[in-house]
Amino acid sequence: MTLLYATHARVHLGNIRDNLLAVRAAVGPGRKLLVAVKANGYGHGAVAVSRMAEATRAADWLGVATVPEGIQLREAGLSLPILKLGPTFPNEMRPAVGAGITLAVCSAEEAEAAADAARAAGRPASVHLKVDTGMGRVGVVPVEAASLALRVSALPGVELEGVFTHLPVSDAADPAFTREQVSLFRSLAADVEEAAGRKLLVHCANSGAILGHEPSWLDMVRPGIMAYGFRPDPATPDTIPLKPGMSLLTRVSFVKQVAAGTSIGYGRTWAAPRDTFIATIPAGYADGFNRLFSNRGRVLIGGRSHPVVGRVCMDQSMVDLGEETDVKVGDEVVLMGRSGDAEIRCEEWAETLGTITYEVTCQVSPRVTRVYDPY
């Protein structure tokens, strides 16, 4: 593959497959697995990750956040069931139903819109009832879940297939709230099934719960960030070994020697404390190499760590090579990943930036080519 832009993300599909299979092995063969591929597969590439998951049987379902995300997967030839995890507006219903996307239903109005869409599309609308057991974001309140299930089940053209909830602190060190939440959900799921008059697909375990809350392992589990190789929080138990799904790479575009006192970059925020060599790299905040790395970040070249100096620009950044160097134009630069025995992990980015690994990978911009390793 010829890269016309040096900055690229290498996506390790084999690692993502191994992470999903490790989840399967941990939760047991009787449970289904939904891999979250929303937000372009957390920046890794939704279509490529989904094709791998389908081809290797590493997942049974795909999870998306928007109707266009689901339609993109269908147009790419994916046949696995797709669950849209949040509410759907009435104007989005018919395209979603037409594409065979399973909808989350949070209210009677939403269920009725799904019935209208099913009639217009000429095919049933598959839905999962979303219950808010403590996330405080979307979903029917627990006391109304059974009555809503009864109402949904009576709608023509609507097939109630599942019931689910989301766990807001399953990744936290204190397990108390999640234990209570899972207990509540298991009880109300039984009530929902009784109201529906049949067995449903019951699920609530996200990455934190898969790693630390076995009682949440119900009919299906939903790995998100852990599929891509990262625990949701440093406090989350390290109970399943995970492999990183992405490396971010570029190449040296320019090398120069500067005298002590020479300022580098916008704002002249850094000046060389000694005679030194400076390398420029074609990666900046428009690529996802965050501006907060200005005078704080680091990169790897030839297995050695070099600090970012000056402000990260939109399209370029500068690094200090030291008083002597053999680095030359064209040398590989590792922004995230391994170089020899050295490594910059996504978790290091998150700590430096004061954020979470989810945001780090999601912010790798579309202009950064994804190069997919075989699996």
Catalytic residues: 38, 266
Which helix (H) or strand (E) segment is 346 a member of?
Answer: helix 346-353
**Residue 123 near residue 164, CB atoms below 8 Å:** no
Length of the chain: 375
Kindly write down the DSSP assignment for every residue of 133-188, as one continuous string.
SS--SSSB-HHHHHHHHHHHHTSTTEEEEEEE---TTTTSS--HHHHHHHHHHHHH
Which DSSP state fits 77? T
* Residue bearing tokens 């109304």: 144
Which helix (H) or strand (E) segment is 276 a member of?
Answer: strand 276-281
Q: Give the closest residue to 327 by CA, choosing from 279, 273, 272, 257.
A: 279
Q: Please, which residues bridge with residue 27 across strands? A: none
Q: Dihedral (C-alpha) 90, 95, 100, 106: value to the nearest 10 degrees?
A: -10
- Give the whole-angstrom CA distance, residue 96 versus residue 81: 12
Contacts of residues 116-121 at CB distance under 8 Å and 24 or more positions apart, as own/partner, are: 116/90, 117/90, 117/93, 118/156, 118/157, 118/158, 119/156, 119/157, 120/94, 121/94, 121/97
**Residue 101 near residue 38, CB atoms below 8 Å:** no
C-alpha atoms less than 13 angstroms from C-alpha of 243 in its C-beta half-sphere: 12
